């Protein structure tokens, strides 16, 4: 399994790249919804049908299993974005979205951006969560919404790119004079967070 220091991590290894910004993004959701598969599809363009459950945390990809919850919450701090994932063929994973959203609100930065992702949309025959239900829940929670498939490579890149875009939009908003750090405007400014140092976003 790839991790931050994995010599096989390939050409996308951040340590080898020049970059202007580094964002901490987390993938969260119940066990087996496809978080690790989603990350592998994005980073490696690979997919494996085998299920090897993540233990604890691996390169900001968290474990969905209840017993690791206390470890994962510590990692929420400083995260600028979340992919909150459920499996469209698993009702329980969808029912758990509200709890995961509460965890984000409790443990993360107030301005952290969240995208709700209904993964495994390739499993149309086994679908139990209509796309409309996902969209409605996302609207209620104030999140953006995508259905996706790590297996068939549907919307994987788009989801990550959209998350970075909304983070950049939020950064630019908080850098506008009316909400400069130290003002009493609503919501925390970026100065409240450990993330990016540069004063503008060139995304
Ligand atoms: P934990 O690490 O336990 O939290 O699980 P996880 O969310 O990381 O799930 P993982 O990525 O390991 O995927 C679980 C199973 O679902 C594996 O057998 C994957 O092959 C399968 N899977 C993941 N994404 C998809 C998808 O888009 N479509 C289908 N059909 N299967 C998928
Ligand atoms: Mg995993």
Residue-wise pLDDT for 182-198, tens only, equals 444 334 444 444 444 44
**Angle of helix 97-107 relative to helix 131-141, nearest 10 degrees?**
20
118 Cβ closer than 6 Å to some ligand 1 atom: no
pLDDT at 188: 43
Alpha carbon dihedral 163, 164, 169, 174, in 10-degree steps, equals: 100
- CA atoms of 150 and 40, how far apart (whole Å): 8
Closest ligand 1 atom number to CA of residue 55: 2
Radius of gyration of the chain (CA): 17
- The preferred substitution site among 3, 32, 122 for testing ligand 1, maximizing ligand atoms within 8 Å of CB, is 32
> Which tens digits make up the pLDDT trace of 25-58?
999 999 999 999 999 999 999 999 988 888 766 6
- CA atoms of 86 and 105, how far apart (whole Å): 18
Q: Determine the distance separating the centroid of ligand 1 and the alpha carbon of 53, expressed in angstroms.
A: 9
- CA atoms of 29 and 98, how far apart (whole Å): 10
- CA atoms of 111 and 186, how far apart (whole Å): 11
Q: Where is average pLDDT lowest: 34-43, 72-81, 146-155, 179-188? A: 179-188
pLDDT at 2: 32
Ligand closest to CA 38: 1
Q: Which helix (H) or strand (E) holds 109?
A: none
Residues having C-beta closer than 5 Å to ion ligand 2: 35-36, 54
Ligand closest to CA 147: 1
């Amino acid at each position: 399994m790839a991790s931050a220091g994995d010599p096989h991590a390939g050409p996308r290894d951040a340590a080898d790249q020049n970059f202007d910004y580094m964002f901490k993004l987390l993938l969260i959701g119940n066990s087996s919804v496809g978080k690790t598969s989603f990350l592998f599809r994005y980073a490696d363009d690979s997919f494996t049908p085998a299920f090897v459950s993540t233990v604890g945390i691996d390169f900001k990809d968290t474990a969905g299993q209840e017993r690791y919850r206390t470890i994962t919450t510590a990692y929420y701090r400083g995260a600028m974005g979340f992919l909150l994932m459920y499996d469209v063929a698993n009702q329980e994973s969808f029912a758990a979205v509200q709890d995961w959203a509460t965890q984000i609100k409790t443990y993360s930065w107030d301005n952290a951006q969240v995208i709700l992702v209904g993964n495994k949309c390739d499993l149309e025959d086994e679908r139990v969560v209509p796309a409309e239900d996902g969209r409605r829940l996302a609207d209620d929670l104030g999140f953006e919404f995508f259905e996706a498939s790590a297996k068939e490579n549907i919307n994987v890149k788009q989801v990550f790119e959209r998350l970075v875009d909304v983070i950049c939009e939020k950064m630019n908003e908080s850098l506008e004079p009316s909400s400069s750090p130290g003002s009493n405007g609503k919501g925390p400014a970026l100065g409240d967070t450990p993330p990016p140092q540069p004063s503008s976003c060139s995304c």
